[in-house]
A and B are shown apart, each in its own frame.
Chain A
Amino acid sequence: QKEVEQNSGPLSVPEGAIASLNCTYSDRGSQSFFWYRQYSGKSPELIMFIYSNGDKEDGRFTAQLNKASQYVSLLIRDSQPSDSATYLCAVYNAGNNRKLIWGLGTSLAVNP
């Protein structure tokens, strides 16, 4: 059973702090990794993707991938109350018929 695991939270951080969201996956052959943000009552929105080991930065967001440890994380710098949402991790393996394997999400609350 291929799995993606996330801490459900809630993760609570003060405004301006760094929020660190973590995701582990079981399928060692996974190739692509995605972070989605989902506000309450809304659909998921893609915010980052990463394919190679290391860091990938986009504005206040940094995705980090360590394939040896089967671990992907999302860092949000200078967290804002508008970042309060559920963050979903998704993993892709080409042998899985173009399906994504989804984590259950981590709820983030940024406190003013």
Chain B
Amino acid sequence: DGGITQSPKYLFRKEGQNVTLSCEQNLNHDAMYWYRQDPGQGLRLIYYSQIVNDFQKGDIAEGYSVSREKKESFPLTVTSAQKNPTAFYLCASSSLGNEQFFGPGTRLTVL
């Protein structure tokens, strides 16, 4: 069953903690993306990667880090430097057609 999985579905973070959000795809897509969505807001790009071992900052990369060691995986770490991390985090992937397909999302809340 092809698709994109994200875990966990819900995540709670204490202030000062780093947390890592998982994103895995078995669609054989080259490109992967991380977005943040705040209530009533659009999608804002955090980081993206077009190939393994390479990634670029998006519009709001400060306080976040990523890695792309495998084609299937693109984890996002929310560091303590991100002052307002409470949001809905969405991972997406795309192939040559450029349409992006999304995982179910992770809802992060800071306690």
Contacts and interface: CB of A to CB of B under 8 A. Distances in A.
Given A99-B45, A104-B42, A43 B31 contact: no
Given A98-B31, A98-B50, A98-B94, A45 B102 contact: yes
Size category, B interface: 20 to 34
Contacts of A102: 42-43
Interface residues of A, number: 19
B98 A43 contact: no
Contact of B105 (A43, A100, A103, A105): A43
A98 B51 CA distance: 12
Contacts of A99: 33, 45, 48, 58
A85 to B, nearest CB: 14
B100 A100 contact: yes
A42 B43 contact: no
Given A42-B105, A102-B42, 8 more contacts: A43-B90, A49-B97, A88-B43, A98-B31, A99-B33, A100-B98, A103-B42, A104-B41
Interface of A: 32, 34, 42-46, 49, 88, 90, 92, 97-100, 102-105
Interface of B: 31, 33, 41-43, 45, 48, 50, 56, 58, 90, 94, 97-105
8 contacts: A43-B102, A46-B99, A88-B43, A90-B100, A98-B48, A99-B33, A99-B45, A99-B58
